[in-house]
Amino acid sequence: MVLNMKRRRTWLTGLLVFILGCAIIVNQHPGKLAHIPEEGYLAPSFTLETVQGQSLNITQLKGKPLMINFFASWCPPCQAEAPDLVKMDALYHSQVTFIGVDMTESDSRSAVITFMKKVGIQYPVLLDSVGKVAKEYDVISIPTSFFINSKGVIVDRVEGALSQRTLQAELSQLVKISPESKASQQR
């Protein structure tokens, strides 16, 4: 009986030490938990080069809803959704900023430019040449799209090709929740 009580105390002490250790680890990294690239979290900030060679930081675009599409020019689902992205950019251009992020780690600048011309992409396309931003956004498959409100908070994340209907629904919802669109509706 005494032996069982000693084992129980040892086990409970070990469990308590484990729980306290976990709490200490979580409290040492609270900022990490707030940067998950999912709905309800702030979109990680990044700076990349455009296909024209200019530097663009997405925090410069804060104040207007943002749609970020991770893609590659050689990717068949990316090619299939690109014409719909172009149409929706034309339709929502004044309300939503579209950004393409090409996974140039597996693509080339010239292939991206050729693809943009072929499809008619007018919105900025950024080159993630080493895959750093894709890693920050936890992009596992392409295409992957993020819908971000005017405050920089991720509203939705969609993996896979978007149909025009789905894309329009996502953008319509994004514009509805934007403070700017609410203010203009009240006038």
CATH number for 84:
3.40.30.10
pLDDT at 22: 44
The answer on 149 and 99 residing in a single domain is: yes
User: Do 18 and 50 belong together in one domain?
Assistant: no
User: How many Cα atoms are found within 13 Å in the side-chain-facing hemisphere of 13?
Assistant: 6
Based on the domain organization, do 15 and 99 belong to the same domain? no
> Quick one: 60 and 105 in the same domain?
yes
Q: DSSP for 120-147, please give it.
A: T--S-EEE-TTSHHHHHTT--SSSEEEE
Which structural domain range is residue 16 located in?
2-31
pLDDT bin (cut points 50, 70, 90) of residue 76 is: very high
Could you report the per-residue pLDDT of 24-39, keeping only the tens digit for each? Answer: 444 444 433 444 678 8
Q: Please, which pLDDT band fits residue 8 given cuts at 50, 70 and 90?
A: low
pTM given for the model: 0.76
Name the average pLDDT for the chain: 83
Q: Domain count of the chain?
A: 2
Q: How far apart are CA 50 and CA 47, in angstroms?
A: 10
What are 103-157's pLDDT values in tens digits? 988 899 999 999 999 999 999 999 999 999 999 999 999 999 999 999 999 999 9
Residues 24 and 68 placed together within one structural domain of the fold: no
Looking at the fold, whether 123 and 52 belong to one and the same domain comes out as yes
Q: Is there a single domain that holds both residue 11 and residue 43?
A: no
Q: How confident is the model at residue 5 (pLDDT cuts 50, 70, 90)?
A: low
Shared domain for 143 and 177, answered yes or no, is yes
Q: How far is residue 90 from each of residues 43, 46, 108, 110, 160, measured CA to CA in Å?
A: 24, 25, 26, 24, 22
Q: How confident is the model at residue 49 (pLDDT cuts 50, 70, 90)?
A: very high
For residues 69 and 12, membership in a common domain is answered with no
- Please say if the pLDDT value at position 57 is more than 60: yes
Average pLDDT over residues 86-109: 93
